Amino acid sequence: MKYIKTLSMVIGAAAFSAQPLQAAPAKTCPTVLNHTLKTLDGQSQNLCAYQGKVVLMVNTASMCGYTPQYKGLQALHTKYKDKGLVVLGFPAANFGGQELASDKEIAKFCKDNYSVTFPVFSKSSVKGSDRNPVYQILEARTGEAPLWNFHKYLIARDGQKVLSFSSGTNPMSPKFTEAIEQLLAQK
């Protein structure tokens, strides 16, 4: 009997110690980031990988008067990436058909002309009934749809607050960089 009690205690203790500790519930990916999209090189990228960062989403076009903004977007990426900013490009031909035909051409253009190293996604629509799901959410959150290429959406680390900036907003303008720095300062 003593043997059974001791064995029971040992098994009970082993069972208790074998129980995994309850981990804190994983953060749920914000709705605006809860999508998997193709990058220019055809790889699938889950935007939840950018959870907890300040995310700058920009609809781009290679042949637009605003195309030189790629230089400023790359500068922002370089300057703030280690502080938690990620710049994401979304090529689209919605405005004047000013985007190149293929993802391969877009990738070459971005690399050769602006040395872009931030993630750029496969060409998609950013307005209308066929717009990609991320842009549906961005429009719903801000009440503002892109009116032209290089419209900017700045998303806070929590994925809830979304700021909208027109195409004419220079990525390196003090107003814009101040907004980025304010969101980066929020933990």
3-state secondary structure of 108: helix
Using alpha carbons, select from 94, 74, 98 the residue that is nearest to residue 145.
94
Cα four-point dihedral sign 107, 110, 111, 113: positive
Report the DSSP pairing between strands 36-38 and 162-165: unpaired
Tell me which DSSP letter residue 123 carries.
P
Q: Which of 29, 48, 64, 110 is catalytic?
A: 64
CA distance 124 to 37: 10
Alpha-carbon Rg of the chain, whole angstroms? Answer: 23
> For this structure, is 64 an active site residue?
yes
Residue 160: name the closest of 132, 133, 137, 177 by CA: 137
- Residue 86 pairs in a beta bridge with 55
Of residues 62, 126, 133, the one with CA closest to residue 100: 62
Which active-site residues does the annotation give?
Answer: 64
